[in-house]
Every structure is written in C-alpha cells, then in structure tokens.
C-alpha cells in the first residue's frame, strides 16, 4: 500500500513539474552522454540473447493468438504485390545462383519427403508445364531446337478451337510434331500442332501431307488451316 502511495505521489509530482523534469533530464543526458551510451550498449550486449528469446516468444504467441487474421493479411498483401514480388525473387535468383542452389540442396537433404510431395503436387497441378519440360529436355538431348512454351501451347489449342487439328474431334490434345523427331523435327511452336492421341499415333514419323491426304477424315480446309498456323508461328518465332 505504501509503495502504491509513493507511485501515485511521484506520478502527480511529475505531472505538475513535467517541463522542469524534462529540462533536468536533458541537462543530465548532455553532461553524461558518453557514460549513458556506454551503459546502454553494455546492457544491450549483456541481455541480447535473453531479449531475442523474449521477442521470439512474444511474436510466436501473437501469431498463434491472431493466426487467421495474420495469414489473411499476408495473403492479401502477396496478391496485391505478386508481380513485384515475383520480379524481386527472379532478380535475386539471377544475382545469387550459388546461394539459391545451396539453399535448395540443403532443403532437399533435410526434407526429402516434403520435396517429393511438392514434386508430385507440381506434376499433378501443372500437367502441361511438366510435359513440355520433359519433351524439351529430350529434344535438347537429341541436339534439336526446343523452345515451345506453355503460353505458345495454349495459343495452339485456342487456334484449333481445342479440337484435333487433323480429325476435328474434341478429345484430349497432345503435342504432335509435323516434322517427326526422327527426321530432326524441332520441339518449337512452328513444328508443334494440337492432335488427338489416335491421330498422333497413326501419323507417327510419316510425312504430314502424305499421311493426312489418305485419311478418311481429311478436309482441305483443315489442311490449309494447319499450314496457315505454321506460317503464322514461323513469322512470330523468328529470332
């Protein structure tokens, strides 16, 4: 009770003589500045580890108490600045390739199961990207040009109205080489068309024009559309 009364008295005294107290503190600080700064530095170093742990514990408690609100805030912040954030990460990877490789290598070694699951999820959620990447790798191994991108593949499918460019049926589309890989056909936008699996397997490594004209579903209008597409992409993809 006595301590409470002392605190109350000091508080009231300070409020009544605030300007005087501030002036005295300022004068004392100016007279003993070096000593005060040295003491502050010493205390900071002495209690550094303890203070860091306290801060970590506080932030952890704060996050757990407000998890949904904080997660929603960071989610909105990311989507509002996703292009800027993606550009920042891209520049960092370009400027620090060794650091990125070492960090990725360390993560894979420490979290093999998580990494495998991440790879499985990526393949499942990005089938086109994964297939294109595999085909490009095989083309490069064969010494062929491999430049087809996911965006170019989407353009190809839209051009042929998400139908097989040969038979016109709405089936699952595959990337078909007009000039086969066995005849040095590139894996590029001006050599890849959208084909159903049946037509792709039937054509195999045959010459496009010779094979197509003897098919029961042949249409000259579709042949012309294929040739126009190849000409269009050849002009767009010129180096």
pLDDT digits (tens, 9 = 90+) for 142-155: 677 888 888 899 99
In a shared domain, residues 89 and 137? no
In a shared domain, residues 104 and 146? no
Of 66, 93, 124, the last residue of a domain is 124
- Dihedral sign, CA of 120, 121, 123, 129? negative
Record the pTM. 0.50
Of 124, 150, 183, the last residue of a domain is 124
pLDDT at 54 > cutoff 70:
yes
Of 124, 148, 180, the last residue of a domain is 124
What is the rounded distance in angstroms from the CA atom of residue 156 to the CA atom of residue 237? 13
In a shared domain, residues 117 and 136? no
Look at residue 163 in the predicted model and tell me its pLDDT: 94
Query: Using one digit for the tens of pLDDT, what is the confidence trace for 201-234?
Result: 999 889 888 899 999 999 999 999 999 998 888 8
In a shared domain, residues 133 and 209? yes
pLDDT, greater one: 7 or 99: 99
Has residue 63 been placed in a domain? Answer: no
Owning domain of residue 216: 128-236
In a shared domain, residues 146 and 164? yes
Look at residue 140 in the predicted model and tell me its pLDDT: 64
What is the rounded distance in angstroms from the CA atom of residue 221 to the CA atom of residue 165? 11
Look at residue 129 in the predicted model and tell me its pLDDT: 65
Q: Within a 10 A sphere around the Cβ of 139, how many other Cβ atoms?
A: 20
| Contact indicator for 204, 178 with CB cutoff of 8 Å | no
CATH code, domain with 227: 1.10.30
CA angle (45, 58, 61) in 5-degree steps = 155
What is the rounded distance in angstroms from the CA atom of residue 123 to the CA atom of residue 85? 24
Look at residue 166 in the predicted model and tell me its pLDDT: 95
Has residue 91 been placed in a domain? Answer: yes
pLDDT at 130 > cutoff 70:
no
In a shared domain, residues 97 and 180? no
In a shared domain, residues 194 and 98? no
Has residue 180 been placed in a domain? Answer: yes
Range among 22-31, 152-161, 178-187 rated most confident: 152-161
Query: Of all residues in the chain, what percent carry a pLDDT higher than 90?
Result: 26
Q: Within a 10 A sphere around the Cβ of 152, how many other Cβ atoms?
A: 17
Structural domains in the chain (count): 2
Look at residue 86 in the predicted model and tell me its pLDDT: 86
Of the candidates 207, 124, 199, the residue with the CA atom closest to the CA atom of residue 166 = 199
């Amino acid at each position: 009770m006595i301590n409470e009364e002392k605190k109350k008295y000091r508080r009231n005294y300070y409020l009544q003589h605030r300007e005087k107290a501030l002036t005295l503190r300022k004068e004392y600080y100016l007279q003993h500045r070096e000593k005060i700064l040295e003491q502050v530095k010493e205390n900071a170093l002495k209690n550094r580890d303890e203070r860091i742990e306290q801060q970590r514990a506080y932030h952890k408690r704060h996050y757990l108490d407000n998890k949904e609100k904080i997660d929603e805030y960071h989610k909105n912040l990311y989507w509002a600045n996703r292009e800027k954030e993606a550009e920042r990460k891209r520049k960092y990877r370009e400027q620090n390739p060794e650091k990125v490789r070492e960090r990725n290598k360390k993560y894979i070694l420490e979290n093999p199961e998580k990494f495998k699951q991440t790879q499985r999820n990526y393949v499942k959620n990005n089938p086109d990207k994964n297939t294109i990447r595999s085909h490009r790798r095989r083309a490069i191994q064969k010494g062929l040009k491999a430049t087809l991108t996911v965006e170019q593949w989407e353009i190809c499918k839209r051009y042929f109205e998400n139908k097989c460019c040969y038979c016109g049926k709405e089936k699952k589309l595959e990337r078909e080489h007009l000039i086969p890989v066995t005849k040095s056909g590139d894996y590029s936008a001006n050599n890849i068309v959208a084909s159903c699996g049946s037509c792709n397997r039937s054509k195999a490594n045959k010459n496009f024009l010779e094979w197509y004209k003897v098919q029961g579903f042949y249409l000259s209008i579709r042949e012309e559309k294929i040739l126009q597409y190849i000409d269009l992409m050849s002009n767009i993809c010129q180096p």
